[in-house]
Amino acid sequence: MSSNLETTPRAVVLVSGGLDSATTLAIARHSGFDCYALSFDYGQRHRHELEAAKRVCSTIGVSEHAVVPLDLRQFGGSALTSEIAVPKDRDEKTMSAGIPVTYVPARNTVFLSIALAWAEVLGAFDLFIGVNAVDYSGYPDCRPEFIDRFERLANVATKAGVEGAGLFQIHTPLILLKKTEIIAKGIELGVDFGLTHSCYDPFPDGTPCGHCDSCKLRLAGFAEAGLADPLVYAS
């Protein structure tokens, strides 16, 4: 592999440790990119996802995995970064109505900005993020409108963009896929979903709760795909 590095384009891939980002990383690898994975230790309630991110990166294969500390708990404002309770057992209709309390203020803007900074240093023009506008329609920073505007911003905000060294592209291969289609794609690419972590409110040992929006969407996705989720849930 290393003999190809000079000609292989580099990409920065946001990897949270969840099912969607693992699939996104696999897609970036299969698209021929030399991947630089980026995770954030942002004070999230579900810190087990950082361990999952490390497992996913080492299994799928990245040139480097950076974990950037960024304490969003200083501001809070989300059930994932403060003591606000994580909603449980909501049906899909309730989940898709409005912006949930698990929304982390401006998170993807913050994350993509740091990914862009690293990309510019690496000479990379391709950024991958596993956002999805179907199952999480309530999150404003997961929508195509946001990604389109950020991509334009990237090209006017950077030295590399202004000098025309290349054109920044934000890749969102999952944005219009249903959860079950994401799972099918991941399986096709050999992703081991047993290494991933999706729960917003896991038990101290990392066992997923099975009742938060993220667990419910994940379980429904596996069920619809006719597959068993390899994770063991709390009874």
**Closest separation between CB of residue 84 and Zn ion, Å?**
15
Contacts of 79 (CB under 8 A, 6+ apart): 45, 85, 86, 87, 100, 101, 102, 200
**Closest separation between CB of residue 57 and Zn ion, Å?**
22
**Of the residues 27, 52, 142, 212, which one makes contact with Zn ion according to CB under 5 A:** 212
Q: Within 10 A of 123 (CB to CB), how many other CB atoms are there? A: 11
Of 129, 138, 184, the closest CA to residue 12 belongs to 129
121 assigned ligand-binding residue: no
Rounded to the nearest angstrom, the gap between the alpha carbon of residue 103 and the centroid of all alpha carbons in its chain is 14
CA–CA dist 229, 208 (Å, integer): 12
CA–CA dist 115, 4 (Å, integer): 23
Q: Is 215 in the site for Zn ion (CB under 5 A)?
A: yes
Q: Which stretch binds Zn ion (CB under 5 A): 32-40, 73-81, 96-104, 209-217?
A: 209-217
Q: Which stretch binds Zn ion (CB under 5 A): 7-15, 122-130, 182-190, 211-219?
A: 211-219
**Of the residues 124, 209, 217, 231, which one makes contact with Zn ion according to CB under 5 A:** 209
124 assigned ligand-binding residue: no
**Closest separation between CB of residue 205 and Zn ion, Å?**
14
Nearer residue to Zn ion within complex by CB, 58 or 94: 94
18 assigned ligand-binding residue: yes
82 assigned ligand-binding residue: no
**Cβ contact 49:18 at 8 Å:** yes
Residues numbered 14 to 73 that lie near Zn ion (CB under 5 A) are none
17 assigned ligand-binding residue: yes
59 assigned ligand-binding residue: no
Residues numbered 180 to 199 that lie near Zn ion (CB under 5 A) are 199
Of 226, 197, 230, 229, the closest CA to residue 214 belongs to 197
Nearer residue to Zn ion within complex by CB, 6 or 83: 83
Pairing mode, strands 126-128 and 169-171: parallel
Q: Which stretch binds Zn ion (CB under 5 A): 51-59, 96-104, 128-136, 200-208?
A: 200-208
Contacts of 165 (CB under 8 A, 6+ apart): 123, 125
- Site of interaction with Zn ion (CB under 5 A): 199, 208-209, 212, 215
